[in-house]
Amino acid sequence: MPRHIVCLTFDFDAMSGFIARGLTGPTALSRGEFGPVGAGRVLDLLARHDIRSTWFIPGHTLETYPRVCEAVLAAGHEIAHHGWTHRPPATLERDAEEEELVRGNEAIARLCGRPARGYRSPSWELSAHTVDLLLDHGFVYDSSMMGDDYRPYRVRRGDHCPPDRPFQFGTGTALLEMPISWSTDDYPHFEFVRTPATVLPGLQSARVVMDNWRDEFRYMQQTVPWGILTYTCHPFVIGRGYRMFSFETFVADLVQWGAAFLTLERAAAEASRVLPRLDAGLSAQ
């Protein structure tokens, strides 16, 4: 039976992402401070449609806004790992990266009664050590890479990319990748960011972006019998009023079109059951 799964995910960074980039002036921090405002709006929307989602929350946010994070958990949403300080692992030494994993998981366990099953790298920047660390600390899935769109896959380690020879693939691991894309992330479409070196213009029409997101789902429906599509949002981004209007219309359309909304943890569990059968069917053809 065809089944098309949608995972709505929310990176509740609040101020942590700005602090990690050294943007600690009052105006930069106030942008992150809008996160709890947007989070409340998102929680209300999800409740109206009886949808469970996954929230990637840095330890910094868990300890800065405990009541908002408690509300996320109380509403039945998954809380997954997103670092502690939102520092990208690729910028850290191995010991510092592991410290971030441990400290973030301790904060999650205090709230949820168990450590996280899923991980999303801050800024989607994995290091050479990340996969080994995630496996060592019992993570089931990662959601930071872009090697597919509707089909989860096993994360490899040991890839080798010499500049003068073909790419050499490493070996698969037990860690399941729940792929993402910048095209289905709200941040690059909507956020205006100005630094001395670059400008991210953002500020696109919410209706146009949601039309693109609708087409992504419809293409999955038309081309694969079973698939998972992950959308990435940030409460301080998607939570702006005019974006919420368009986002709720988008969600309502996916409901009408038969999307099955799951947390990433539940979707990963289903993928682990389904993918071997799909692979067996392809090999038999």
Closest of 241, 262, 183 to residue 215, by C-alpha: 183
Here the CATH number for the domain that contains residue 134 is: 3.20.20.370
Q: What is the pLDDT along the chain (285 residues), one digit of tens a residue?
A: 689 999 999 999 999 999 998 889 999 899 999 999 999 999 999 999 999 999 999 999 999 999 999 999 999 999 999 999 999 999 999 999 999 999 999 999 999 999 999 999 999 999 999 999 999 999 999 999 999 999 999 999 999 999 999 999 999 999 999 999 999 999 999 999 887 777 889 899 999 999 999 999 999 999 999 999 999 999 999 999 999 999 999 999 999 999 999 999 999 999 999 988 877 655 555
Tell me the torsion sign for CA atoms 171, 56, 210, 193: negative
Give the residue numbers spanning the domain of 201: 3-284
Helices (H) and strands (E) in the chain, counts: 12, 11
Structural domain total, the chain: 1
* H-assigned helices in the chain: 16-20, 26-33, 35-48, 59-64, 66-74, 94-112, 130-136, 186-190, 206-223, 235-238, 241-256, 264-284
